[in-house]
Structure 1
Amino acid sequence: MEKILEVNDLAVSFHTFAGEVKAVRGVNFHVNKGETLAIVGESGSGKSVTTQSIMRLIPMPPGEFVNGSILFQGEDLVKKTNKQMEKIRGKEIGMVFQDPMTSLNPTMKVGHQIMEGLIKHQKLSKEEAKKEAINLLDMVGIPMAESRVNQYPHEFSGGMRQRVVIAIALASKPKLLIADEPTTALDVTIQAQILELLKDLQKKIDTSIIFITHDLGVVANVADRVAVMYAGQIVEMGTVDEIFYNPKHPYTWGLLGSMPSLDSKSDELYAIPGSPPNLVNPPIGDAFAPRNEFAMKIDFELEPPMFKVSDTHYAKTWLLHENAPKIEPPLAIQSRMKKFQEKAAKKAGEKR
């Protein structure tokens, strides 16, 4: 498959009064044309820093590209000037942020905010841009688009505002769309609608998507592949089926086990013990070792490499070493994983 984006050995730091925060540490991944890659992990795992680095939105200073490259259609974005990036942002790469109220200008009509990108990147006249803005609002599911194009953000509900933000991001039909936790601030019903909308729009405009979330359950029906991030590194990467049906990293087990389930007979929810490490002084060895009940002596001494599980599945854990003991996820986690798998199988059957 054709790769539209390749991130190679990316390292990003922030220089603070407390010292150098190594926010992203040697990240590697790619995005194929027309696919959705989900990046999941707890807050502070480096997801947003990674994607904002792609858009070159990291303020420098205090931020700094320490190492690596970001190849978009073969060109290294790290080496681009701000002037060159202005031609790429919005036109080639679009972004949907978490909170639509901070993404939209409260003093401008939503139609004008959509029209800005159309006029700048596609060189449309005001009349043509307004017509296209109405089409975009209609495409993202906003009723009575012709009249609502003249309304202000405060006149829309939270879900509708997020649809407007998506319309702005898609105005120039970008080849890559980055969605940074676009459903976190929305209730579950609206969340499902936005996820369905993104899937539908992806087919219509043939774009690739990077979907950022801390909720592994959200990506099940959206993503083609999943990258699990922890402490600034990708610790597991695979197709959706591989991550949900055959996870190999204890951190992925923990994320799956901590997903709430309405049909669970027990009120007990699995919680990953401890908290993420301080990246001013990253731990020696496996960063997840202090929180890993299956940690071995080597986990505290040497950082594990990425072990190959299949051609598409890799995990950064010493448990995959040939000399490591064979360990299965805890029963509580297996139970939740089984429930999820049953739901996924049922949904797949309904689609057929």
Structure 2
Amino acid sequence: MKKILEVKDLHVSFNTHNGIVKAIRGVSFDLYKGETLAIVGESGSGKSVTTKVLMGILAKNEVIEKGEILFEGKDLTKISNKEITNIRGKEIAMIFQDPMTSLNPTMTVGYQIAESIMEHQKLSKSQAKEKAIELIQLVGINEPEKRYKQYPHQLSGGMRQRIVIAIALACNPKILIADEPTTALDVTIQAQILDLIKEIQNKIGLSIIFITHDLGVVANIADRVAIMYAGKIIEYGTSEEIFYHPQHPYTWGLLASVPDMANQQNELYAIPGTPPNMLYPPKGDAFALRSDYALKIDFEEEPPFFKVSDTHYAATWLLHEKAPKIQMPKVLKDRIEMMKKEVALNAC
């Protein structure tokens, strides 16, 4: 597959009244044409900051300390504001998690789609309207001509999110960033939106970066998964490798936290403790204080990436040849078996 985006050793910090927050600490990943890469982690892990850098929408107190973001031969960290503005929306588009904050309540949803088309594609008002109606239909909304004239408050939450997707697709972007796009929706609508994103991707060959805190959400949508914790990617691999053969204790915790809908009597697992304060990044493995499997070296030295397969790597000392052999916890084994069954059912 053709590589469309390459992030290399990205470091981002926030200047605050209390000091410097090390939000992103050496993040690297690739995105290939037509694939979906899911970036998964708790709130504060650095997922959304990474995508803000890609979109060129950092706040004044947010600073790129070093690193490269290569898109079609250009380093997005070094181009002018004008150049990044031309790329944003047209080449790289984004869906935000709350459609009500993404849409202007004083404008019809159709005009909001058409406005983006006129801005980036320089089409006439009538041409833009025609394309906007086509996009409303593409995202699965019936009676598109009628919906074109309606305001956000006249649509359901699921329909509003479909309109946000239509706006993101208005300029035929090459990369779509979906930042927690289903968080504000109920489970049924959530599944519909995920199916819609996958369907549109197959139609037009989009590359997607999917941001979420919930591993269960990406089970049927992601080709590859990157697990983030404390500003770093700590494990990455194909979707199957991450779901069925996880290696990092943090990934174990995320998977064990996925609710078992088939057996609601089971107690919901939660990872103990809280993420570290990134004003004072911890020494060694940032997850060590929350891990039942931490070794002495985890508190002294940061683990490198260990190769599990050609596509699967994890930064945990448990993979060192001298580390003790740890059995995967039973709650995680149960969740993996549950997810395998769910994936098989969804494939039918």
Shorter-chain TM-score category? over 0.9
Instruction: Tell me the CA shift for residue 18 of structure 1.
Output: 1.0
Match of 1:51 in 2: 51
Displacement of 1:347 in angstroms is 3.2
Identity of aligned residues (%): 65
Aligned to 1:42: 42
Q: Secondary structure at the match of 1:294?
A: coil
* Match in the other structure for 2:148: 149
* 2:212 corresponds to 1:216: no
Displacement, 1:166? 0.2
Give the equivalent residue in structure 2 for 1:196: 195
Structure 1 unpaired stretches of 5+: none
> Match of 1:17, as an amino acid?
H
**3-state SS of 1:79 partner:** coil
Q: Counterparts of 1:128 and 1:112 in 2: how far apart (Å)?
A: 12
Q: Kindly provide the amino acid, as one letter, of the partner of residue 15 in structure 2.
A: H
- Which residue in 1 is equivalent to 2:77? 78
Partner Cα separation in structure 1 for residue 242 and residue 114 of structure 2: 40
RMSD: 0.9
Check the 8 A contact 2:9/2:68 in 1, yes or no.
yes
Structure-1 separation of matches of 2:3 and 2:230: 26
> 2: distance between equivalents of 1:51 and 1:133?
26
Normalising by the residue count of structure 2, what TM-score does the alignment of the two structures yield? 0.98
User: 1:321 maps to what in 2?
Assistant: 320
AA aligned to 2:144 is A
Counterpart amino acid of 2:176?
L
For normalisation by structure 1, the TM-score amounts to 0.97
Structure 1 partner of 2:172: 173
Distance 2:29 2:92 in 1: 17
Q: 1:265 Cα shift? A: 6.0
**What is residue 104 of structure 2 aligned with on the other side?**
105
- Confirm or deny: 8 A CA contact 1:319 1:325 kept in the other structure: yes
Q: Corresponding residue for 2:2?
A: 2
The residue aligned with 2:18 is: 18
Alignment-derived partner of residue 290 in structure 1: 289
1:127-166 matches, cutoff 5 A: 127-166=126-165
**Contact 1:250 1:329 survives alignment (8 Å):** no
Task: Specify the alignment match of 2:30 in structure 1.
Answer: 30
Superposed, 1:89-104 pairs within 5 Å as 89-104=88-103
Give runs of ≥4 in structure 1 deviating > 4 Å.
none
1:108 Cα deviation (Å)?
0.7
CA distances 1:107-132 after superposition (whole Å, capped 9, x unpaired): 11111111111111111100000000
In the TM superposition, 1:58-77 aligns within 5 A as: 58-60=58-60, 62-77=61-76
Question: Offset at 1:204?
Answer: 1.4
**Equivalent residue of 2:39, what SS?**
strand
1:113-157 per-position Cα deviation (integer Å, ceiling 9, x unaligned): 111111111111000000000000000011110111011111111
Are the aligned partners of 1:36 and 1:222 in contact in 2 as well (CA < 8 Å)?
A: yes
Return 5+ residue gaps in structure 2 as ranges.
Answer: none
Q: Provide the C-alpha distance between the structure 1 equivalents of 2:163 and 2:346, rounded to a whole number of angstroms.
A: 29
Which range is displaced more, 162-171 or 319-328? 319-328
The number of residue pairs the alignment matches comes to: 348
Q: Specify the code of the residue in structure 2 equivalent to 1:134.
A: I
